[in-house]
Amino acid sequence: MTGFPGLARASCLVAAAAFPVAAQAPAPRGNEREAYQEIAATLMAMPFTVGGVAVMMVVARRCRPDKEGQWKRVIDAIDQRFVVCATQEPRWQVDVSREFAKEEAHARANGSSVGYGSLALERFWSSATRQIDERGTAVCAKLGLFVDPAAVSDKARADYLQADPSATPQKLEAALQRARSLLAFGIDTAWIDRPCRTFWPDAGPQK
């Protein structure tokens, strides 16, 4: 679900953490319905968005520490977008606080950000770290390529495909595009201040 090779198990753990909001939130009334539906859809997309960013931040920390910051900027952009949406529609704050009550209490106690991106990252960080740690030293060879997807050379692509018999050029390019699409949220930040009819720009994050 994160869109990166070999992370199906981690994705299942992330997804399980993301889905309770639909059952917990009270039924919306009147004009709240459209906002409620968008908030629920955004939270349900966490495995594809913040879940994927969490994995890449862990991999970057292990393999390319100089590139962790570009992934953290994605979380910062999501936090800023959350502030914009919560200002336009207060239900964002209500529902996100309900979904992340434990993480929000911990963040406030430590003086950390209580934005949607940061709270979701805290939820997914432990499971992402555990899954990456289980791969040991092989993680950099397997996933390090996706930490800086814009700088992947033809030789790096060829080496990756040679080292992994299950990989295909099509799957590799799809995973690299997935990484680029996530990083784009922290690079071109014009989307942050757009009206919040939908949380994500255009068609939203690629799955």
3-class secondary structure for the chain? CCCCCCCHHHHHHHHHHHCCHHHHCCCCCCCHHHHHHHHHHHHHCCCCCHHHHHHHHHHHHHHCHHHHHHHHHHHHHHHHHHHHHHHHCCHHHHHHHHHCHHHHHHHHHCCCCCCHHHHHHHHHHHHHHHHHHCCHHHHHHHHHHHCCHHHCCHHHHHHHHHHCCCCCHHHHHHHHHHHHHHHHHHHCHHHHHCCCCCCCCCCCCCC
Judge whether 74 lies within some domain: yes
Closest listed residue to residue 189, CA positions, set 83, 99, 102? 83
The pTM of this model reads: 0.81
pLDDT in tens, the chain (207 residues): 455 655 443 333 333 333 333 334 444 444 567 787 888 888 888 878 899 999 999 999 999 999 999 999 999 999 999 999 999 998 899 989 999 999 999 989 988 888 899 999 999 999 999 989 888 888 898 899 999 999 999 999 999 999 888 999 999 999 999 999 999 999 999 999 999 888 988 645 544
Query: Based on the structure, what is the number of domains in the chain?
Result: 1
Judge whether 20 lies within some domain: yes
Judge whether 198 lies within some domain: no
Judge whether 103 lies within some domain: yes
pLDDT at 101: 92
pLDDT at 2: 52
* Domain encompassing residue 165: 8-193
pLDDT at 202: 65
Residue type, 121: L
pLDDT at 45: 85
